[in-house]
Structure formats: C-alpha cells, structure tokens
Amino acid sequence: MKNGFFSVPRPINEPVLKYKKNSPERREVLETYTTFYKSNIEVPLYIGDKKIVTKKRAKIVPPHDHKHTLGSFSIANASHVTQAIDSALAASLNWENTSFEHRAAVFLKAAELIAGTYRARINASTMLGQSKNIFQAEIDAACEFADFLRFNVAFASDIYSKQPIQGDGVINRLEYRPLEGFIYAVTPFNFTAIAGNLCAAPALMGNVVVWKPSDHQMFSAKIIMDIFEEAGVPPGVINLISGDPAMISNIILDHPQLAGLHFTGSTQVFKHLWQQIGNKLTHYRNYPRIVGETGGKDFIFTHHSADIQTAVTAITRGGYEFQGQKCSAASRIYLPASISDKIIAGVVNNIKSFSIGSPDDMNNFITAVIHENSFDRLVRYIEQAKNDKEVEVLAGGIYDKSKGYFIHPTLLKTTNPHYTTMETELFGPVVTVYVYEDNEWESTLKLVNTTSEYGLTGAIISQDRHFIEHASEMLRHAAGNFYINDKPSGAVVGQQPFGGSRASGTNDKAGSSLNLLRWVSPRLIKETLVPATDYRYPCMN
C-alpha cells in the first residue's frame, strides 16, 4: 500500500445459473463438454514458469464412461518435487513483498474469469472428470470457487485492519506476515472449489504453495492452473505436482522449510500426514501449521413433530446428491416409529424417480461414483447388507460398472444402530435408516452423539421449538455444521463457514477469516516516539 487505504469489493455470492432448456449457458457448457470429450487433454506439472510433460503419465477417464480416455496427466519423480519446492521458495520473497491490493486483484480477477469466460470450461471439466451433473458442477466449480476467492479478499482485508490500540507516545502496528517457507496443499477429488481454495487461500495471504491434487480431479486442476495463470499469479507462487502421493509427501514433509499443510481428504490420510510431521518436528525451522478437513458420518435426526415432506426432501437431497460423495452427505438417518413408514415411502418414491446416467444428459440426478475402488468397496457393503439379518434393503442395491461406475441409490434399514453402515464413512449413494420409538428420542440423541468418531455435519427435523433447543444443546459437539429443518450439505461461502471437529478435522472453517488466520504469522512493531533516556522508574530515587 503506497498512498491510500484501499478498500476491497463487498462480496456477494455468485448467482447459480439455471441451465434450462435452450438457455445460452446450457448450450455453451454442452458444447464445451463435447469438445473436451473429443480432445486429448494433457496436464503437465507446473513448476515455476515451466510446464513439464513427463514420459510417465496416467490416464484421465470419465467415471461414467471409463473406457473412454480424455487425456493424461504427468507423474512427477523425486527431482520434480524438489524443483517444485525450490521454485516456490524462489518466488516467495517477491510475492510476500507484493502489496495486498495487487495480490487481491490477481485473485479477484481469477474469480471474474471463473464466473465469466472460464465458467463453461471449469464446469465441463468437473462434469467429465469428476462425474458431476451440471447443477452439482455449477454450485461447486463455478459458484463456490468464485465465492471463495471474492470472500477471502474481504476477509483478508478485515484481518489486516485489526490493529492494536496505541499507547502514550507509542505507535503499535500489527503486520500480518505470511509464513516463512512454503505451504503443502493436498486436495480431494470431490470439490473443484476446495482444490482451488486450498492453494489460493494461503497464496492470497502472501504464501507460496506446492499443490498435490487428487488423481481423480486432474482435468479441472488443469483448468484451475490455466485460470491462475491468466489472472496473473506469478510463476512459482502455486506449483502443481501430481503422481505417487506417498513419494511426494515424503519429500515435502522432510523439508525444513515446510511452513504448513492445507489438507482436505480422508481422516486416515490426514492422520498419517500429521504423524509424519510430528516425527520430523525437530527438523523444521518453524512449527508447521496443520489444517485438515476430513471425513464425516453425517446424520439427519427426525423428531415426531417433523413435517414429513421436509424430512423426505432433506434425506433425498442430503443423502444422494453427487452420489453421496460429499463429506457433508447424510448417511445415517434416525426416524421416529410413528412417521417412519411415511418418510421411507417418500424417499423410496424419490429414489425410483431418479434418472441415472451421464452428466451430459441434464435430466440425470445421479451419475457415476468416482473410480473402480470406490465402486467395488460400495458393492461389498451392499452385498454384505443383503446377507445381514439385521438389515433390509428398501431401495437400490443394484450396480453396474460395464460402462461407468454406477451404483443405484440404495436405502438400507437396520435394527442395529451400530450396524457398520451407521458408523463407517462409505462415500457413496448408500443411506441407512434406524427407526426409534417416539418416546425414546432423548436416548436416541445420545446415540447420535456417540455413534461415530466424526463431528462434521448433522441435521434435525422438527417443528417443536423445545425439542429444537434441547437437541441443539445435546448435539453441540456432534457437528461443526448443524442444520435445523434442512439437509446437512450445501454450505455456501460467507453464509455457512464449513468444517467439523473430532475425527473430521481441525475445524478451521473454509470460507471464513478463521482459515486465513492460519496462514499468517503476525509481527508486532512498537515504535517509541520519545524514547526513555534513564533506566530508573519514577518510584525510584
């Protein structure tokens, strides 16, 4: 900042486009989808100003059409990983000295590109590579990503404006320095916006980043890098490395200048990475900041005062949108006996009405699950459920991977509230219902609170204000995002900052200033205007 205290645009959430028949946005995204489908996408490593296409590459395939190849991505070797760290560190001094309004302008421009000229590309790549239908792609890749970038600029500006009080003859300044070193961003397949934000949030605060995306998000990862480049993120500030996660992590976590880990993915991988960092603690120049948002076993608890249709819709959308592959997806449902049949009938009816198939058919509510491992794992749970006496399959239970990894949305009912599908994160379109006696709602809430190791999202459905207040208290630690009369998914940046505790993560709330605070290391500067010239205090002679 040179001569002015600049303000930043007041963010508003990016409007979700409708993609109705004959709309220009629908035409454009479908044309882009078709062009991408026929082209051969090459995703290089992005190291400094170099784009490196390696000899060893892995295929990118649409999960709903896995015999078709979309292109390939490069597999890094150990030397590439070291080069990426070196490039980040080489870029760090210039970047941290770039004033905030210029760093902000870069990411605000990226948001404009996402919402504008890149909208069809980022949506189509997400539809193809991650098998999202257009609505799911739009709310994630276009809207949530643009929101993250715009809101973070406003949050960062608020953070910078928070200053200490001034003393007598003293000026106090708080400078929000970036961390010393580089940030390692490790991202999941399921949200393009999360992938982009895990790099962009630390970079906005002046940090440099080495990013390892999921193998199953590589197509939209390339579009993200194209956008960052066009928006003016300088070379080396965000470097992309793909390939063997264990090899990459071993090198990165071994580096003395690791300043932070920004992770979203499964609990198991996060715990492993944290442990690796712990084992190397004496080796680092700073204590690395560790931010991780991980798994969930998210619940909907329905009270006998609930509006039936509200419960039916919350379970249907919360459980099955994007094939249940949201960390916030509802997968354990508690229903009171008096209305359980009606709610189950409504959900089963909805499931029967779902159309299933490729995302380029915009009628499809359900598309494929992400990869064969996920498909096979889900099939194992479904087959197990068919054989277990304490479980009944109420809908779905069928699957087919001949063309794409399609699992029909499945609804299970169990008499055992600790049945495996009530406790384990399956990450697919499999929802389990447990029916309790109406008057046992309080003991059932205790069960909800203690059944799973996670604490990510949850919802209660009720029209009884006393119940709502009581249940909100009893479930205070059961979910970091708690919903009343709604599905437990679909958090919007700026409105519902997202994250959970227990085994679900460090709860640093993506899409809020709390997350950005993890990427700064404040320096206090005290300037004394008229310095003391005598060491003695007035009380002394």
Q: Which chain residues interact with ligand NAD by CB under 6 A?
A: 186-191, 194, 212-214, 245-246, 249, 264-266, 269, 272-273, 293-296, 327, 425, 427, 456, 498-499, 504-505
Q: Can you tell me whether residue 217 is helix, strand or coil?
A: helix
Q: Please state the separation of Cα 436 from the chain's center in Å.
A: 33
Residue number with the smallest Cβ distance to ligand NAD: 265
d(CA 288, CA 365) in angstroms, rounded, equals 42
The per-residue b/e assignment along 311-332, b for 16 or more CB within 10 angstroms, e otherwise, is: bbbbbbbbbbbbbbbbbbbbbb
- Going by their DSSP bridges, the two strands 57-60 and 71-74 should be labelled as antiparallel
- Smallest distance, Å, CB 264 to ligand NAD? 5
Alpha-carbon torsion angle 34, 38, 39, 44, nearest 10: 90
C-alpha 422/C-alpha 407 separation (Å) is 19
Nearest approach in angstroms of CB 456 to ligand NAD is 6
Minimum separation from the CB atom of position 265 to ligand NAD (A): 3
Q: Which is nearer to ligand NAD, 106 or 218 (CB)?
A: 218
What is the C-alpha separation between 106 and 149, in angstroms, rounded? 10
CA 411 to chain centre: 25
Instruction: Find the shortest distance in angstroms from Cβ 81 to ligand NAD.
Output: 12
Q: Are 405 and 323 in contact (CB under 8 A)?
A: no
> Which of 323/340 has CB closer to ligand NAD?
323
Residue 206 phi, psi (nearest 5): 100, 10
Cα–Cα distance, 340 to 300 (Å, whole number): 13
The whole-angstrom separation of Cα 525 and Cα 177 is 12
Minimum CB distance to ligand NAD smaller for 1 or for 78: 78
How many other β-carbons are positioned within 10 Å of the β-carbon of residue 530? Answer: 8
Nearer to ligand NAD, 322 or 467 (CB): 322
**Residue 60 or 339 with smaller CB distance to ligand NAD:** 60
Instruction: Give 219 or 427: the residue with its C-beta nearer to ligand NAD.
Output: 427
- How many whole angstroms separate alpha carbon 242 and alpha carbon 230? 21
H or E element that contains 521: strand 520-528
Active site residues: 293, 327
Q: Which helix (H) or strand (E) holds 184?
A: strand 182-186
Minimum CB separation of residue 334 from ligand NAD in Å reads 20
How many residues make up the chain in this entry?
541
Q: Which residues contact 312 (CB under 8 A, 6 or more apart)?
A: 343, 346, 347, 350
Q: Is 314 within 8 Å of 457 (Cβ atoms)?
A: no
Q: Nearest approach, Cβ of 504 to ligand NAD (angstroms)? A: 6
Task: Pick between residue 64 and residue 103 the one whose CB is nearest to ligand NAD.
Answer: 64
Apex 488 CA angle, 486 and 493, nearest 5: 100
- The answer to whether 394 and 344 have CB atoms below 8 angstroms apart is yes
Rounded to the nearest whole angstrom, what is the least distance from the CB of residue 26 to ligand NAD in the complex? 27
Contacts for 507 with CB less than 8 Å, ≥ 6 apart = 293, 480, 499, 500, 501
For the bound state, the minimum distance from the C-beta of residue 31 to ligand NAD, rounded and expressed in Å, comes to 29
Pairing of the two strands 45-47 and 50-52: antiparallel
What is the nearest approach in angstroms of ligand NAD to the Cβ of residue 371?
9
Paired tokens of 410? 């499945």
